[in-house]
Homo-oligomer: A and B are copies of this chain.
Amino acid sequence: MSAAHRIVVVGSVVLDTIHTPHGSAEECVGGSASYAALAASYHAPVHLVGIVGSDFPTEARELYAAHGIDVEGLEVVEGETFRWGGRYHADMNRRDTLFTHLNVFEHFHPKLPESYRDAEVVFLANIHPSLQMEVLDQVRNPRFVALDTMNLWIDIARDDLAAVLQKVDLLFLNDEEARQLSGETNLVAAVRALRAMGPKAVVVKKGEHGAVLFGHASTPYVQSTVLLDQVVDPTGAGDAFAGGFLGHVARVGNTEDVTLRAAMVHGTVLASYTTERFGIDRLAEIRESDISERSDVLRMLTAWPGH
């Protein structure tokens, strides 16, 4: 790979209604593809693939465009956009889903515009694994394919997930999902089993506890989160993490271990900003200097003390 690669992001675009201990927000733009695409846009050219209804706000479309995100692949059909509602507990690691209205998303089949099909990096954000496979059937020769998934697909679409995993270079999932999909309780053993399913690299996301990269090197890489004194809304943090990670990979243009490790930093930085306000509000407005400032915070938080 050489520098300045393009990244295709496929996932859900949703209008979220979110309640957290710090307040509520109605119908804010979200979904795995929104968070991932915005985060990636700080590092590389992004092509978005998704579906919305005729009620999708023009301002949101303009927001993507303002971030240089190509929305030719964001299909608009008659009807209502996917809507989701959730309420976080006082312990914000836990949330309850209040409603899920798939609406136009129910019959979504991703269609990649011709100009997308030669993208070097592909991110299959969290949607049904059979839709993720449909995307891979449309790209020509991607150099790096990453996939995110969730407990629901492990439960109800395990075979579809296993099929698409065979074609994936990197798998993102959280620690609970890693244990569920592998059947192993020990994390190292779980990742060994996951790699046997296809992906050469695995990133285990652990929410407020950070993330672990099992990359090409023999030693994994452990990344702390930033310790924020207020998390307003954790929604989309995992998607922004993946977007920031893959944006960095696309920008650098290779998948060497040192690149993947630095990508862990960039994913963490973008995820941390995402949680500072509801929805995409904070993620959409950060600047280059914000990214380097928070990278420095992370570096100091974990600076090896010697012994």
Contacts and interface: CB of A to CB of B under 8 A. Distances in A.
Nearest to A304: B299
Among A187, A227, A228, max chain B CB count under 10 A is at A227
Nearest to A297: B219
A46 to B, nearest CB: 19
A228 B220 CA distance: 11
Interface residues of A, number: 44
A222 B186 contact: no
A230 interface: yes
Interface string A251-292: 000000010011011100000000000000000000000000
A295 B307 contact: yes
B224 A90 contact: no
Interface in A83-132: 90-92
How many copies of this chain sit in the oligomeric assembly? 2
A209 to B, nearest CB: 4
Given A209-B209, A209-B210, A307-B266, A188 B228 contact: yes
Nearest to A291: B307
A262 B305 contact: yes
28 contacts: A21-B185, A91-B179, A91-B185, A92-B185, A186-B228, A186-B229, A188-B227, A188-B229, A189-B229, A192-B229, A206-B209, A210-B224, A219-B300, A219-B301, A221-B301, A221-B302, A221-B303, A221-B305, A222-B227, A222-B301, A222-B302, A224-B224, A224-B302, A261-B305, A265-B307, A266-B307, A299-B304, A303-B304
